[in-house]
Structure 1
Amino acid sequence: MDAPDIVVPVRETAVNEQLRYALRTWTANLPYRKVWVVGYRPTWLRNVEHIPTVQLGTKYENTTLAVRAACEHPDVADRFLLMNDDFFVMQRQTEMPLLHRGPVREVERLYAARANEDYLSGMRQTRDLLISLGYEDPLSYELHVPLPVEKAGMLEALNVGRHLPVVHKRTLYGTLAGLGGRRIEDVKVLHRGPRFSHGPFLSTMHDAFANGMVGRHIRTAFSRPSHYESAGRR
C-alpha cells in the first residue's frame, strides 16, 4: 500500500516554531509521501505542497475549511494523516496506528469543568448527531495525535456535520467510518513542568513548547533541521 500524504492546517502566525520541529519529527519517524500545508505558509517553509485558504472564521471553522479543501483537492492522496502543527512523533512508526480517547460521554465529563463553551458545545452537538444516526455510545477521536483519514469518508462526515458551528470532525469521521482502534490518554502538555509522556507522541501548548521542559526535550531530540527549512534557518 502506498504511503499516505500528510495534511496540516496552519493558522496565520509569524514564525511557528512548533511546526518547524513537528516536521523534523515526521521526517524522522513517519512513512509518508508529501506534506500539504493548508492555510498559511510560513516564509521559512519549503519543499511542501500548499493549499491557500482565507481564514476569516473561528479557529474551528478555519480548520474545517482546511480539511475540506484538502479532501477536495485532486492531488492530495486518497489516504492522508490529519495533523495539527503541534503534533510531534517522537518514535519511529512503520505506519500510524488508529487511536481513540474512549467514549465521548467520558471525555465530556473531563472537559465540562475546564473547556471553553464553544468546544464543549461542539462535543455535545457532535455526540447528539451521532446518537441520532444510531451510534449509541460513540468514541472520541479528539486526540492530539495524527489521524489516518480516507478523503471520501472525511468529506461525507463534513457534509453530515456541516450544520454544526463547532463540529468535532475527527470524532464524526472516526465513528462514521467505524475506525475502532486502541484507546490512549491524550498527550497534550499544558504546563512547563517535567511531567509529560515519553511515549511515541507528544503535543504542546505554545507556552509549554517555548518555555517548558517538554519543549526543551523536543528541541534537544530533534536539533537537526529538516529539508523543509530554508537554508541557514533553525
Structure 2
Amino acid sequence: MADLDLVVPVREGPANQQLRYALRSWRANLPHRHVWVIGYKPAWLGGVRHIPTRQADTKYANTTLAVRAACEHPEISETFLYANDDMFVMERLDEMPVLHRGSVRDVESHYVAKASGSYLRGMRQTRDLLVEHGHPDPLSYELHVPLPVDKAGMLRALDAGCHLDVLHKRTAYGVLNGIGGERIEDVKVLHRGPRFDQSTPFLSTMPDSFAHGAVGSLIRSSFPQPSAYETRRR
C-alpha cells in the first residue's frame, strides 16, 4: 500500500484547516507514496503534487472532473487512495480496507427522511443506472473514508454515468467493478456534542463540527505537530 498515491480533490478557499489535519492524519496513519491535490492548492500546502482543474460547476461536477483528471494522469499510481479533505485516519493502518455502507436501498431510506434534494436525486439515479447494468440491489460506497480506486475501473464507471449530473461515483465504481468490502456505518460527525462513534479508525467532520465541536478538538489534539505537507503553520 505504500506504493499507492493518495488523491484528494480540494475546493477553492483560503484556509481549509480540515485539509491540514487530514494530511497530518494521513501522514501519520495511512501509508502512501505521493499526495496529489486536484483542483485548488492552498498557499500553506507543500510537498504535494498538484493538478489544477476548473471549478466553475457544482461541487459534484467539480469532484467528478478532479477524479477523471487523476485517473488520466500517467504519473499517478494505477491504484490510488481516493480521499476528501474532511476524512481523518485516527489509528495506524497497514493498508486501507475496502468499506461500504450497505445497500443503496437502506441508505436511501435514511436520506428520504432528511429530504436531501440533489444528493438524494443522484443516489436514486445512480441506483437506477446500476440496476440497468445488472445490479438489482447495489451496495453504497458513499462513506467518508478513503477508497482504494483502480484508474481504469473508475474511468469505466465515470463513462457509464456521464449523463448524470450528480453521479455517486464511489458507488458506481464499487458496484460496477465488484470490489466487495466490509460494511460500516458512516463516520461523519455533524454535531458539536461529545458523543460520536469511535469504533473504527476513521472520523469525518463538517466545517462547524471540526471548528467548534468535540470531534474537532479530538482531531486537533491527536495531531498537534505540522506534517511534511505544511510550508507554514497558518
Normalized against structure 2, the TM-score is what?
Answer: 0.98
Pairs within 5 Å for 1:41-52: 41-52=41-52
For residues 125 and 39 of structure 1, the distance between their equivalents in structure 2, rounded to whole angstroms, comes to 26
For residues 24 and 168 of structure 1, the distance between their equivalents in structure 2, rounded to whole angstroms, comes to 27
Structure 2, unaligned runs of 5 or more: none
* Alignment partner, residue 73 of structure 1: 73
* Alignment partner, residue 88 of structure 2: 88
The offset of 1:2, in angstroms, is 5.8
Match status 1:219 vs 2:220 = yes
Pairs within 5 Å for 1:188-227: 188-198=188-198, 199-227=200-228
Structure 1, unaligned runs of 5 or more: none
Pairs within 5 Å for 1:106-185: 106-185=106-185
Q: Given the superposition, is the C-alpha separation of residues 2 and 31 from structure 1 closer, same or farther in structure 2, using an over 3 Å criterion?
A: closer
The offset of 1:115, in angstroms, is 4.5
* Alignment partner, residue 186 of structure 1: 186
Q: Given the superposition, is the C-alpha separation of residues 22 and 2 from structure 1 closer, same or farther in structure 2, using an over 3 Å criterion?
A: closer
Match status 1:36 vs 2:19 = no
The answer to whether the 8 A contact 2:2-2:31 is kept is: no
For residue 88 of structure 1, give the secondary structure of its aligned residue in structure 2. Answer: strand
For residues 43 and 2 of structure 1, the distance between their equivalents in structure 2, rounded to whole angstroms, comes to 27
Q: Given the superposition, is the C-alpha separation of residues 125 and 12 from structure 1 closer, same or farther in structure 2, using an over 3 Å criterion?
A: same
The answer to whether the 8 A contact 2:11-2:39 is kept is: yes
For residue 165 of structure 2, give the secondary structure of its aligned residue in structure 1. Answer: coil
Which letter maps to 1:228?
Y
Which letter maps to 1:23?
L
Normalized against structure 1, the TM-score is what?
Answer: 0.98
The answer to whether the 8 A contact 2:6-2:35 is kept is: yes
The offset of 1:197, in angstroms, is 2.1
For residues 182 and 115 of structure 2, the distance between their equivalents in structure 1, rounded to whole angstroms, comes to 24
For residues 17 and 135 of structure 1, the distance between their equivalents in structure 2, rounded to whole angstroms, comes to 39
For residue 6 of structure 1, give the secondary structure of its aligned residue in structure 2. Answer: strand
Q: Number of aligned residue pairs: give it.
A: 233
For residues 3 and 102 of structure 2, the distance between their equivalents in structure 1, rounded to whole angstroms, comes to 27
Following TM superposition, the consecutive aligned residue runs of length 4 or more in structure 1 with deviations greater than 3 angstroms are: none
The answer to whether the 8 A contact 2:87-2:145 is kept is: yes
For residues 167 and 97 of structure 1, the distance between their equivalents in structure 2, rounded to whole angstroms, comes to 23
**Residues 151-200 of structure 1 deviation map (CA, whole Å, 9 limit, x = unaligned):** 00000100000000000000000001101100000000000000112230
The offset of 1:113, in angstroms, is 1.7
Q: Given the superposition, is the C-alpha separation of residues 228 and 190 from structure 1 closer, same or farther in structure 2, using an over 3 Å criterion?
A: same
The offset of 1:137, in angstroms, is 0.5
For residue 24 of structure 2, give the secondary structure of its aligned residue in structure 1. Answer: helix
Q: CA RMSD in A?
A: 0.9
